[in-house]
Amino acid sequence: MKNAPVIVVFVLLAISGATSAHAKKEETPATKFAQGGVEASKNKDWNKAIEMFRKAAELDKKFKPNLVIAYQHRAFAAASQQKYQEAIADLDEALKINPQDARTYEQRAAMEMNTKDYDKALADYSKAIKFLPDEISNYLYRGYIYELRGDKKNAMADSESALKLDPTNQEALDRKARLQVTLEPRVPFTPRPQNLPQTTPAVTP
């Protein structure tokens, strides 16, 4: 989430370049709407961007990824104002368009974490891992939820998966060390027998 502003700029440039390339080949109603979406995105007018990209995608499905991105950005804008339910609703729409987008699952899980809906966040992080297994942050967040819920075994598994991707990750190392203390089997206490006398003491009358 911290890298979102950088991603926004990069994505806008990518959209702009793609739509400009299409426009140079042939200006169609779809590309006109897409160009309008790009301009609205540059102005951070996400409502208009979504409207334009939706119209473009209805005419030409190659613009569907742009519509997904516009929904993601509007969700990010809503989340920055702590309007998490609005953000989740936009990400729901994005996933209807592309149900295999790992980043959208990751973003929706982050919103669900903020609303403390850990069951849904857990499911979304699992989907994100399914579609993007090399992203370490998803293992860390899912491991956090597992630990929070007392599921130490799965929390440990996610910590180990994170460490396979980055053996120096401090958060994963700390969680693993913390969990190892509680997961290590404890040897039951056995009282130490007292030393018995070698011979039975004589009975004195």
pLDDT < 50 regions, the chain: 1-18, 21-23, 187, 196-197, 199-205
Long-range contacts of 38-42 (CB under 8 A, 24+ apart): 38/12, 41/12, 41/15, 41/70, 41/73, 42/12, 42/16
**Pairwise CA distance, residues 38 & 155, whole Å:** 42
Region of 201 (left: φ > 0; alpha: ψ -120 to 50; beta: rest) is: beta
3-state secondary structure at position 99: coil
User: Does the structural domain 121-181 have CATH classification 1.25.40.10?
Assistant: yes
At 130 the pLDDT is 97
pTM: 0.76
Residue ranges, CATH 1.25.40.10, the chain: 121-181
CATH architecture for segment(s) 1-98: Alpha Horseshoe (1.25)
**Phi and psi at residue 197, to the nearest 5°:** -65, 145
d(CA 142, CA 121): 8
Q: What is the reported pLDDT for 95?
A: 97
